[in-house]
Amino acid sequence: MFKFSVPQKVFNIGGVNIGGQPGEYPTVLIGSIFFAGHNIVSDPEKGLFDKDKARQLLERESQISAITGNPRFIDVIGTTSEALINYIEFIAENTTSPILVDSPSQKVRLATIMHFSGTEVIPRLIYNAIAEDYTDEELTVLRDCGVKSSIVLAFSNKAVKPQAKIRLLEDKLLPAATEAGIENILIDMGVMDVPSISWVSLAINEVKEKLGYPAGCAPANAIYTWKNMKARGTPAFQAGASAVLSMPVLLGADFILYGSLNNAPWVYPAVATTDGLIAYGNRFTGVQVQSTEHPLYKIF
């Protein structure tokens, strides 16, 4: 086990602490809902969906989160502003969790942010994401609407290796986030494919060692296209994917985007076990667990 030499930032977003030294706080797990092709969605343009099935997914994840001690953010994805607003209103009414505002379209994300500006929901919203292609309009809307939390995506075809990602952050992305008024900066180091997660994990380690920000990644972007392992079926895929999800955590990740909420029953135990082992091992470094709800106490 190890301890970062620089002070580590800890942010509280919607009652959830994220960041810190390995072993202080459990990994935040971020599952997605209403994504393209999600079978509970009947009209992705208007944001119509089966509310009973959505509640069941949310409640099941909530129960598993309580069992393992890993807190959750909810990644809400929409292709139109009408849909994304409907989705977020539902999630806000049916949970108390922080919510990622997620869409392939920047215009959709910004229209959604403007809709919730000045409401009691805005402190729970995490913009996903300020990326290499950010615009001045984007930064202005985030600042004017009072958004304080955002993922900053350190991904570029020109910045693949860890040191290149850090340069991208320092030279471009962190100044942009500051200009947008973001106070709670969560750094997503960007994943291309399953093998790249080894480099991404190293990048997470380096950015926390150098900058101290909470950092993580989205292995889901790769593992669900992992043809060789998916062809082996269950439980081989889940076992392999559990190892992939755990590697960034072992090197210091504070959050993991794990894909569909459907996968919560096997994702949470895998990451919680890793969290518990890290916390126990880091007693040798003087790092103290900051919550009795930590997986160290919940699953061992």
Rounded Cα–Cα distance for residues 294 and 220 (Å)? 24
pLDDT tens digits, residue range 173-224?
999 999 999 999 999 999 999 999 999 999 999 999 999 999 999 999 899 8
Is it the case that residue 292 has pLDDT exceeding 90? yes
Tokens standing for residue 104: 């392939």
Q: Do the beta carbons of residue 57 and residue 33 sit within 8 Å?
A: yes
- On whether residue 143 sits in a domain, the answer given is yes
Question: How far is the CA of 210 from the CAs of 62, 162, 207, in angstroms?
Answer: 34, 12, 5
Over residues 13-19, mean pLDDT:
98
Residues 147 and 99: beta-carbon distance below 8 Å: no
pLDDT tens for each residue of 22-70? 999 999 999 999 999 999 999 999 999 999 999 999 999 999 999 999 9
Instruction: For residue 5, tell me if it sits in a domain.
Output: no
Name the phi and psi angles at 270, rounded to 5.
Answer: -65, -50
- CB-based contact 150:101 (threshold 8 Å): no
Give the rounded percent of residues in the chain with a pLDDT score beyond 70: 100
Radius of gyration, CA atoms only, the chain: 18
Closest by CA to 179, choosing from 135, 113, 223, 242, is 135
- What pLDDT does residue 162 have? 87
106-127, pLDDT tens digit by residue? 999 999 999 999 999 999 999 9
Tokens of 131: 């990326």
Mean pLDDT within 76-89: 98
φ, ψ for residue 163, nearest 5 deg: -65, -35
Predicted local distance difference test score (pLDDT) of residue 42: 98
Domain coverage including residue 94: 10-298
pLDDT at 149: 98
Structure-block tokens of residue 128: 């996903």
Q: Calculate the CA 205 to chain-centre distance.
A: 16
- The three-class DSSP label of residue 260 is strand
DSSP-derived 3-state class of residue 145: coil
CA distances from 216 to 63, 72, 280 (A): 23, 14, 21
- pLDDT score of 193: 93
**CATH number of the domain encompassing residue 45:** 3.20.20.20
Q: Tokens standing for 164?
A: 């290149």
Q: Flag whether 1 is in a domain.
A: no
> Which two structure tokens, joined as six digits, stand for 14?
């919607």
pLDDT at 147: 98
Do residues 236 and 262 lie in contact, with contact meaning Cβ atoms separated by under 8 Å?
A: no
Q: How far apart are CA 64 and CA 299, in angstroms?
A: 11
* Average pLDDT of the residues of the chain: 96
Considering the domain boundaries, does residue 2 fall inside one?
no
DSSP H or E run through 258: strand 255-260
- Mean pLDDT over 268-282 rounds to 97
Domains: count for the chain: 1
pLDDT at 151 over 90: yes
Q: Look at residue 40 and tell me if it is in a domain.
A: yes
Amino acid at 119: T
